[in-house]
Amino acid sequence: MAKYFSVEEMECKCCGQLPADGIDERLQNVLDAMRESVGGPLVLSCCYRCPSHNAEVGGVPGSQHVYGRAADVICPDGMSVDELANIAEECGADGIGRYYSAGFVHVDTRGYAARWEG
Ligand SMILES: [Zn+2]
Ligand SMILES: [Zn+2]
């Protein structure tokens, strides 16, 4: 289990479900490492999404969120999207999406590198 994040923070916001295999182990490690690097609490705007919740929020159908391999991390006060994205990079995230206007960074453990701006 993640050291700094509870099941409640990682389950689907609409129904409280988790993926059948649980939240990806490596994602939990990346999130914990980011938390340690930041040195303060990190808030996840979402982590696992069941397929219907994913469709509702306009996520792409094969989104890593549906597999429990992604989390959207809200920038803590005083930290920019780029700073948080650099921390995600150092902590070994595979997919890193920078969402400048919304102020969060998507991190995932899809198994190969992906970088984008949303
Ligand atoms: Zn749901
Ligand atoms: Zn995301």
Per-residue pLDDT tens for 1-29? Answer: 899 999 999 999 999 999 999 999 999 99
Work out how many domains the chain is built from and give that number.
1
SS3 state of residue 113: coil
Distance between Cα 73 and ligand 2 center (Å): 8
SS3 state of residue 99: strand
Instruction: Output the pTM of the full model.
Output: 0.96
pLDDT value at residue 2 = 94
Parallel, antiparallel or unpaired: strands 95-99 and 43-46? unpaired
Whichever domain contains 55, its CATH number is 3.30.1380.10
Q: Which of 56, 59, 69, 68 is nearest to 18 (CA)?
A: 68
Range of the domain at 63: 7-117
The string of pLDDT tens digits covering residues 43-100 is 999 999 999 999 999 999 899 999 999 999 999 999 999 999 999 999 999 999 999 9
| Domain annotation covers residue 17 | yes
Ligand (nearest to CA of 46): 2
pLDDT value at residue 1 = 82
Ligand (nearest to CA of 56): 1
| Domain annotation covers residue 1 | no
Distance between Cα 51 and ligand 1 center (Å): 7
| Domain annotation covers residue 2 | no
| Domain annotation covers residue 62 | yes
Distance between Cα 67 and ligand 2 center (Å): 11
Ligand (nearest to CA of 55): 1
What are the two backbone dihedrals, phi and then psi, of residue 98, each rounded to the nearest 5 degrees?
Answer: -100, 115
pLDDT value at residue 14 = 97
**Torsion-angle region of 16 (φ positive above 0: left; ψ -120 to 50: alpha; else: beta):** left
| Domain annotation covers residue 48 | yes
Average pLDDT over residues 33-49: 97
Ligand (nearest to CA of 74): 2
